[in-house]
Amino acid sequence: MVNGLQPTKAGVGAPVAELVRAIETADSKGAMVVAVNNLAAAQDVDAIPTLITVLGYNNPGAAVAAVNGLAALGSAAVPALLEQIDGYNYGARAWAIRALALIGDPRALPVLLETAKGDFALSVRRAAARGLGTIHWPLLPPDQAAIAQRDVLEVLTQATADPEWVVRYAAVAGLQALATDSVEPIRQKPLILASLRRSFEQDETLAVQARARLALDTLALQ
């Protein structure tokens, strides 16, 4: 595999076009998955628009391949993902948020915060809550990171009271990750631990309680 962040331009134009054509002409869901996997494996920035388009097809296998391809391309895919986030196709939106969450680029923070707070679809809130915990904080200056982390903590704490168990589960996972990366541990860690303890003791869903227990155990060891 070539380094996705620095694709060499020479000679790759034709193959990517061919791989894109294979997606356009795929005649079954299985063929589509193979074609998307091939395009994702090329790790070429020219593949980004097509990979994003695939997120809107009703084909989870192909969407998984496209998300993985976009995630491997990393920050190079972020501007296009932010620009093309689909406001009306919830399936596509969930996958795009998932790709942004996997990439962890702080430029996605406003979208992730807004989405975790109030998106209509639980799968989208879930992906956003998870993504808020896995931002690559060193990419921001410490003072900006501190302000952003306060927002993240507030939104994730709210999300531990979401009506859907899987969003609460993702919020707990996000809080654990935030505690590990906090730039203001003295201020934030007690708040995070209190929130996790509340989920462990009071959540109505056993799986969420278990995730909170895992977070508390892990943080106690650090």
Partner 1 sequence: MEQDSQPLVAVEGAEAESLTAEQAIANLRQTADMGLRYYAAWWLGRFRVAEPTVIESLVLALEDESDRAPDGGYPLRRNAARALGKLGDRTVVPALIKCLACDDYYVRESAAQALESLGDPLAIPALRALLAGGVAAAVAVPGKPHLVQPYNAILEALGTLGATEAIEDIAPFLEHDVAQVQNAATRALYQLTGDATYCDRLVERLQELNLQLRRSAMMDLGAIGYLPAAEAIATTLAENSLKLIALQGVLESHLRQSNFPSQALSDDARRVLVLMDELL
Instruction: Give the binding site for partner 1 (CB under 8 A).
Output: 29-30, 33, 56, 58-61, 64, 89-92, 94-95, 98, 101, 120-123, 126-127, 129-130, 163-166, 169-170, 173, 200, 205-207, 209-211, 213-214, 217
Cα–Cα distances in angstroms (integers) from residue 62 to residues 32, 93, 140, 162, in the given order: 6, 15, 33, 29
Could you say which DSSP state residue 6 is in? S
Alpha carbon 143 to chain centroid distance? 24
C-alpha 216/C-alpha 196 separation (Å) is 7
Which residue intervals of 85-141 are DSSP H helices? Answer: 90-103, 109-118, 122-133
In whole angstroms, the minimum distance from the beta carbon of 89 to partner 1 comes to: 6
In whole angstroms, the minimum distance from the beta carbon of 90 to partner 1 comes to: 5
Amino acid occupying residue 52: I
In whole angstroms, the minimum distance from the beta carbon of 166 to partner 1 comes to: 6
Residue 178 in contact with residue 152, Cβ under 8 Å? yes
Q: Is the Cβ of residue 18 or residue 114 nearer to partner 1 in the bound state?
A: 114
From 52, 42, 45, select the one nearest 19 (Cα to Cα).
42
C-alpha 33/C-alpha 39 separation (Å) is 10
Q: Is the Cβ of residue 11 or residue 87 nearer to partner 1 in the bound state?
A: 87
In whole angstroms, the minimum distance from the beta carbon of 208 to partner 1 comes to: 9
In whole angstroms, the minimum distance from the beta carbon of 178 to partner 1 comes to: 14
Q: Is the Cβ of residue 16 or residue 193 nearer to partner 1 in the bound state?
A: 193
**For residues 35, 39, 42 and 44, what is the CA-based torsion angle, rounded to 10 degrees?**
170
Q: Is the Cβ of residue 137 or residue 169 nearer to partner 1 in the bound state?
A: 169
Q: Is the Cβ of residue 15 or residue 90 nearer to partner 1 in the bound state?
A: 90
Q: Is the Cβ of residue 50 or residue 123 nearer to partner 1 in the bound state?
A: 123
In whole angstroms, the minimum distance from the beta carbon of 43 to partner 1 comes to: 21
Alpha carbon 135 to chain centroid distance? 9
